[in-house]
Amino acid sequence: MRLGRLVPALTLLIALALVGGTGSQATAQTAPPPGAISSNVEFIANIPEMRQAIAVNFLGNRMFVSTVHGVYSYDVSNPAAPTLLAALPMFIWENEDMDIDPVRQRLFISRDPRGFITPAGGGGNFPYGGLHIIDISNPNVMVELNFFLLDAGHTSTCVNNCDFMWTGGPGKHLTQPADWTGRPIFGTDIRDPLNPVKCPKPIDLYRSDGVTAYAHDVQVDADGIAWVSGAGGVRGYWTSGMHTNPISSMKRVLYQASPCNPIPYAGGGTPNTATPSRFMHNAWRNVNATIPGEDDPNQPGDQTKGMVLYGTEENITANCASSGRFATYDLRGSFNGEGWKSTSVKTFRMRVLDTWTPEAQPGSTGCASAHYFADRGDSMLAYGFYGQGTRFLDASDPKDIRQVGYFRPDGASTWAAYWHGGYVFIADNARGIDIVRFNGQAGDASVTAPVAAQLIQLPMAEESGYMCPFDASAVTVG
């Protein structure tokens, strides 16, 4: 179903006026904000026009920002003076993990089933989501190629070099099977953007101890493993190549993996590290990460290389005992399909190596749930913790996660942080885009600073299932 672009010209003119017009330097603020900033974090600039920012992605020196009021692109070759290039207004909820095809130069916007009525969701949980495919080959004009309906919509991720999209989230609709507690992953062949072809069956079924539950997001690691996070844990899949299938009765037979018929790799259930939630929001495997001290000295090589999984357990509460946290997991023991064979009677859980929250940490004023993070490549993470800002975490020893820097502006609502070109670009739903430079390294001493006693309660949206908080009253264009 192709709907085409339905945005009135007047909306475009209003949006361009509010953000300063394309080809103009953004009104970047360069004075550091009040709050807590560690000495190894250098504030570069803030783009306040991007308030209600949700996600960021890059194509070279072009930064793309998804907000509740539209998609915008900037030239960030000079991070201290970003220049607006193009704007594509649209009211959108939620698209919190925007993806880009760098070869075909296309951008993908996922529309949540709760986002067809108001930009902040609410008003109904429709039986469908949707995907916008946008041509970004011209730096000064973004052109929507197609919009079509899907059986889910919240996040959409490229697999197999953006030949396919995997779309997940959110909760179950009445038109879906009664035994589902949430929507799984739905795959779509988008090689021809005007004629998308849906995979014949859903993906990542029975993910929570044998029950089909909410599959929230997908991250693809350097080896091409697609990690699906959601209710019940994190499971990884091969989507190409010939592999044995650990849940097949024919253990030694090689099968062809594809985006519509993926083959289980590893992963599974996660313990209740943030009671009462076991909702895994997003995950990442650094294929070079190891578990120090756990190699067998009688065996050669780094036997734990690639066995570490990083994961966000999201639980949006200011209660420090249950606020969502960052966790590291040991993948060993999950390569024989344990995560797919798990049931409520005979459960499988990955081993937790360590967990971390901002509670009683330098630069903190209380607790906040973990959200999106990015790995610099050396197990140095830039991590969004909503009201507790961006935390720089050294995960080089996954059994001892350490904070080595922080950026927590007053009034922050930090959704995600991204490494790019030696800088960190932060999507803050309250402040816009913050640009900082982190001057620390893995192995640095932990930062110290006075810890305040104030506890911040983040706004939560009932219509979003209390996941990904949002202040609906703040929805404005600009």
| Region for 67 from its dihedrals, namely left if φ exceeds 0, alpha if ψ lies in -120 to 50, beta otherwise | beta
Structure tokens at 336: 């024989």
Q: Is residue 131 within a helix (H) or strand (E), and if so which, with residue range?
A: strand 129-138
**Which residues of the chain fall below pLDDT 50?**
1-18, 20, 121, 450-466, 470-478
What pLDDT shows up at residue 143? 98
Residue ranges per domain, the chain?
Answer: 9-442
Class of 9-442 in CATH:
mainly beta
Exposed e or buried b per residue across 400-412, where buried means at least 16 C-beta atoms within 10 angstroms of its C-beta: ebbbbbbbbbeeb
Q: Write out pLDDT tens, residues 279-314.
A: 899 999 999 999 999 988 888 888 999 999 999 999
What is the C-alpha separation between 166 and 219, in angstroms, rounded? 10
pLDDT in tens, 436-461: 999 988 778 777 654 443 334 444 44
pLDDT of residue 18: 45
Provide the pLDDT for residue 195: 98
User: Residue 26: its pLDDT value, please?
Assistant: 60
β-strands 390-394, 380-384 pairing: antiparallel
SS3 content of the chain, % helix, strand, coil (to 5): 5, 40, 55
Residue range 411-431, pLDDT digits in tens:
999 999 999 999 999 999 999
Judged by DSSP in three states, 462 sits in helix
Task: Please give the pLDDT value at position 449.
Answer: 52
Mapped onto helix, strand or coil, the DSSP state of residue 338 is helix
